[in-house]
Structure formats: C-alpha cells, structure tokens
Amino acid sequence: MNCKILLINNLFFTFLTFLLSDPAEGTATTPWFFNRLQFQLLGSGIFCDNIPGLSSAQKKLCRNSPDVMRDVGAGIQLAEEECQHQFRHRRWNCSIFSYQSRDTTLFTNFISRGSREVAFIHTIASAGVVQSLLMACSDGSLSNCECDPSKKNGKSRDSKGEFDWSGCSNNVKFGLKYAKSFTDAKESETRDLRGLMNLHNNNAGRRAIQKHLQLKCKCHGVSGSCGVRTCWKATQDFAIIGDFLKTKYNRAVKVDTTQDSTGKLVAVNSNRSLRKGDMVYMDESPDYCLHNPFVGSLGTERRTCSTNKRAKEEEHCDDMCCGKGFVSQTIIEDLNCDCKFQWCCYVQCEICRVKKDVSTCKSKHKKLSGNNSTVT
C-alpha cells in the first residue's frame, strides 16, 4: 500500500509524501502534481479533489487558490533540501524522504513517533511553506496576493534615520495565514499530545520566518549620497533559517500535557515555561545505528564519515559508525582544473586525476578488494 494513503491521519505529512513522490511521473524539482497541462485539462475542482489525504478544508483552499498549492509544494521541497543539508553529518540525515529510500514501513513508523527529528521536519516544512509563499507573493507569481499594502507610500524610521517604504515588501499576513490554514488543518481537529506537539512546531516554523525578515534599502542621492532611502521587507536566505532551526533542534524541549481540562503543553523536567518559538518533542530518539523499520531508522551502513581528529564528533567515523568499524580506501576522481576562458565564448578545462581518501561505515555484506583498502 502506498505510504501517502497510510499517512491519512497525519494530513500534513500525507501531502508532503505526495508532493515528493512518483519520480517516474515527474522530476525532483517538478512533481507531477504541478503539471500545468494536467491542471488545465482537469480543472481545479477535479484536480484538487483527487489529491490524496487532503481534508475538505484543504481541498477548498486548493480550489480557491490552485496556484498557491504550487508554492506550498515548492516550500516543502525547499525544507527537505535544507533538512538534508543540516543533518548531512548526522546518523539521521533526513534521507528518509528521498526517492531511493522512501519505504512505507520506515516512513510511517518514523512519522508515528514524536521524536526530535519529526519535530524538526514539522518545523522546517512549515517554515519552508511560508518562505515560498512570501517569495511568490513578492515576485508577482500569485494572482490573489499583492505586496504588503501597509508598506506602500509611507514613511518609517530605523537606527539610520527616516526612510520611505518602496519596492515590494513581503505580505507576511498572507503567507502566515495561508500556511497556518493548510498545515494546521488536520491537527486542529484533535487535542491529543501528538496533535498539540505538531501544532506547536508548525507555529514555531512560521515564527522563524517572521523573526528573520530583514529590512533592505537603497540609497538615492547625488554621487551615491544617501539623501533619500527607500526600503522594503524581505525574507532571508533559507539556509539562515535552517541554521536557526538546527539550534532549536539541539535545544528542543520534551513536553507532556497538563492533567487539567485545558490540556496545554508543558515542559518536562524543566524549570522554565514553554516558549512559542521552542521546538518540542514527546518521544526519545533511537540511536539510528541499525536499519530498524520498527523505529523508522535507515541505519548508517555505507555512510561516509571522517577520520580527521578535528572533525565534529557526530561526523567522525567512531560516532557515525556506532563503533562497528569502517572501511578506508583511496579512490581516484577526475576533476576539472586549469580552466581558461576561450574567445569566444566558452571555458576550456584540463582533466586532472586526484587521489582522495574516503571512509565509509562497514556493511555486513561488504567484500573488500584492492591493496589500498583497510578495515578499522
């Protein structure tokens, strides 16, 4: 059975899986869901009603704003790429969402847990959706969204003095409202611990984007003087958001619900109150050392690691391979070198053969060959 059907009870992740699946019918950057011809032939009603896992409220959002759904998907893909970048040196490296490792049992068991990693996915996916919507709104690709009307033809001040609002400021209210409507749809119907955890992390992702909006300005004056400044609000590079959320992950707070009728989230074993921007989790994470579908772990067999003593602990072979040993070997790579511009108009490069030492975690079935392979 397809994992997007099995995840029907977790609507946001059902849609996430759907957006990033079926590579045979699309590409990694353009899922078949966003095929414009298909949309035009089917019409928004049939098209949106046949997206698996969407609630009636989400289908209505899709029918009313089908072009927005394109940017929702782009935001989730943005989040996936940043997640894999942030965890590239960790045992859990976010690859459970990549095409080659998408497995029904692994995926559903992973999502069903309330671990730090699931919390990170919820948070960064929510942030990615807001980021994508704000960018699409500013560049004019969304028909039902305009630049922030409160930042038009007005004046304001900052530490450098007075400036005029100009350009196209991100319509934050639109991005936050639509992202909240979509990502929180199913979770809002439940008041259990998992639902409250997901809602909290979704909100933390939206707040991360809002926190990192920056003021961009241009100077206007004679000979480059800054007699007049025009400014606008814009999003920052998503890598900055990724770094910020990785810090939140490292400081994630374990939560439970109160025993009274309010059923609010409370921090476990913590002297401070829970903050809206905190990343929260409810279950301890497995060690991710071995392939274990029951906890959604892919294991670390054949993962690249570092033998450099200066490497971070998490990427060093001793930690990455969980003490099971690793294989070090020398490989030869062909790389472009001595590149020169030729008139006109191309770059011509030489091919250089470079030796490179590579270490990978041992595999149970690994057979070593060659004189330059060593087992540790």
pLDDT top residue among 133 and 244: 244
pLDDT digits (tens, 9 = 90+) for 209-228: 999 998 888 888 776 678 78
pLDDT digits (tens, 9 = 90+) for 139-155: 777 777 777 776 666 78
Homologous superfamily of 303-375 in CATH? Answer: Wnt (Wingless and Int-1), C-terminal domain (3.30.2460.20)
Non-local CB neighbours of 222 within 8 Å, separated by 6+ positions:
none
Task: Tell me the H-state helices in 50-163.
Answer: 56-64, 66-86, 104-111, 116-138
Compute the C-alpha angle 9/13/17, nearest 5°.
Answer: 120
Non-local CB neighbours of 223 within 8 Å, separated by 6+ positions:
none
Instruction: Locate the domains of the chain by residue range.
Output: 3-281, 303-375
- Express the helix, strand and coil content of the chain in percent, nearest 5 each: 45, 20, 35
Task: Give the C-alpha separation, 59 to 46, whole Å.
Answer: 10
> pTM for the full model?
0.80
Task: Give the C-alpha separation, 62 to 56, whole Å.
Answer: 10
pLDDT digits (tens, 9 = 90+) for 105-117: 677 778 888 999 9
Strand (E) or helix (H) holding 266: strand 265-267
